[in-house]
């Protein structure tokens, strides 16, 4: 059998007629671009959504941390008072300080040392301080033992995954019931979402003048 | 053949992106749970105060009524909580505070328990 290579119905002609022609390409390329644009857009939205959710999570977590810290201290407090700036509070609470009180049976041998917990009352002061750091136009909370020097490390804000600011921290003391009502409002600087949590804590050791 | 390969690749890419997005849909449940937990603690504080004074425990909400409404699920979208208190046993009492949503709560529920001794 003779194979016809060239001519009108030749094999080479058939091979040449396969593949994309310009018109097909002109339709396929915009479609591909549109598809890739859509997928890219969805990916960017997902990253944005992730960023927002992470920032909201940080906001919740910081608000909870501050609230836990205040309620924990207030529970053992004998004195609580708001400072001049109503967003700051001073808490004098019961603490056991055993650093100076250890007892040894046999000289100074470390193995025979016993920590002795003092039964005397030891009181510590904690300030939950609202403070605006130099160069920032929003407030963060600081937990410090003295309020006469600028604090350094905030307990809220300055988080890489979502910075936050304090909107308000209000404490209301009901001396007759020995109940402290706390209301904390914080906002995310990434999403501008606000969280407000309120609670109350009973303070059995509160000294009422 | 090439078309089939491309189509498969693009479809699998789209599926991966969408599966990744699914769990990230905004869910206010955790914020509401946090708010509700502190609301339950507010009720416990009030009950402890009553107990310390030797007064009987009450089952109505004793905290601030404005704390029952929150906008944490979205600005301008107030959510109202309902606080239920159950007191069981004898002194010391076992107190259960349940916080649910007043309307359309579905399965939302925060339950907290505490043992409270009433001073005699």
ipTM: 0.82
**Paired strand residues for B88:** B94
Place of tokens 């136009």: A137
Please tell me the least confidently modeled range out of A3-7, A30-34, B80-84.
Answer: A3-7
pLDDT band for position B29 (cuts 50, 70, 90): confident
What share of chain B in percent tops pLDDT 90? 57
Would the CB atoms of A202 and B45 count as touching at under 8 Å? yes
Query: Taking the model in full, what pTM does it have?
Result: 0.78
Chain B contact for A98 (CB, 8 A cutoff): no
* Chain A residues inside the 8 Å CB shell of B24: 46, 49-50, 53
* Chain B residues inside the 8 Å CB shell of A44: none
CA torsion, points A3, A9, A11, A16, in degrees to nearest 10?
A: 170
CA distance A207 to chain B (A): 14
Residue of B nearest to A46 (CA): B21
Directed axis angle between helix B2-21 and helix A22-75, to 10°? 20
CA distances (Å), origin A110, targets A105, A114, A117 = 10, 9, 17
Residues 6+ away with beta carbon under 8 Å from A46:
B17, B20, B21, B24
Chain B contact for A42 (CB, 8 A cutoff): yes
Residue A91 phi, psi dihedral angles, 5° rounding: -125, 125
Would the CB atoms of B24 and A43 count as touching at under 8 Å? no
Of B26, B34, B42, the CB nearest to A64: B34
Please, are residues A61 and A156 in contact by the beta-carbon 8 Å criterion?
Answer: no
Of B31, B63, B75, the CB nearest to A200: B63
Residues 6+ away with beta carbon under 8 Å from B92:
B115, B116, B117, B118
What share of chain A in percent tops pLDDT 90? 40
* Chain A residues inside the 8 Å CB shell of B48: 202, 204
Answer whether residue A33 shows pLDDT above 80: yes
User: What's the average model confidence in pLDDT over A2-14?
Assistant: 60
Please, are residues B37 and B112 in contact by the beta-carbon 8 Å criterion?
Answer: yes
In chain A, positions 124-183, which contact chain B (CB-CB < 8 Å)?
A: 177-179, 181
Chain A contact for B26 (CB, 8 A cutoff): yes
């Amino acid at each position: 059998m003779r194979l016809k290579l060239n001519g009108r119905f030749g094999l080479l002609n058939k091979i040449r007629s396969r593949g994309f022609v310009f018109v097909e390409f002109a339709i396929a390329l915009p479609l591909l671009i549109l598809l890739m644009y859509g997928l890219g857009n969805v990916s960017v939205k997902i990253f944005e959504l992730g960023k927002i959710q992470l920032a909201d999570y940080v906001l919740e977590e910081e608000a909870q941390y501050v609230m836990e810290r205040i309620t924990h201290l207030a529970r053992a407090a004998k004195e609580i008072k708001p400072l001049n700036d109503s967003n700051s509070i001073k808490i004098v609470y019961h603490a056991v300080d055993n650093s100076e009180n250890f007892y040894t049976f046999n000289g100074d041998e470390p193995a025979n040392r016993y920590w002795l917990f003092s039964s005397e009352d030891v009181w510590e002061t904690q300030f939950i301080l609202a403070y605006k750091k130099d160069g920032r136009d929003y407030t963060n909370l600081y937990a410090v033992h003295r309020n006469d020097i600028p604090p350094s490390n905030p307990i809220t804000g300055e988080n890489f995954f979502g910075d936050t600011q304090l909107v308000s921290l209000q404490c209301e003391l009901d001396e007759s019931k020995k109940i402290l009502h706390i209301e904390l409002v914080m906002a995310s600087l990434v999403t501008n979402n606000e969280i407000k949590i309120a609670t109350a804590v009973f303070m059995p050791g509160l000294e009422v003048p | 053949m090439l078309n089939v390969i491309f189509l498969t690749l693009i479809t699998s890419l789209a599926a991966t992106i969408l599966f990744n997005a699914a769990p990230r849909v905004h869910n206010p449940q955790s914020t509401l749970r946090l708010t509700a937990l502190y609301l339950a603690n507010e009720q416990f504080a009030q009950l402890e105060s009553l107990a310390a004074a030797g007064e009987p425990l009450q089952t109505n909400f004793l905290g601030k009524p404005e704390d029952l409404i929150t906008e944490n699920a979205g600005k301008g979208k107030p959510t109202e909580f309902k606080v239920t208190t159950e007191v069981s046993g004898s002194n010391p009492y076992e107190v259960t505070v349940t916080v649910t949503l007043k309307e359309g709560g579905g399965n939302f529920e925060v339950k907290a328990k505490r043992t409270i001794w009433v001073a005699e």
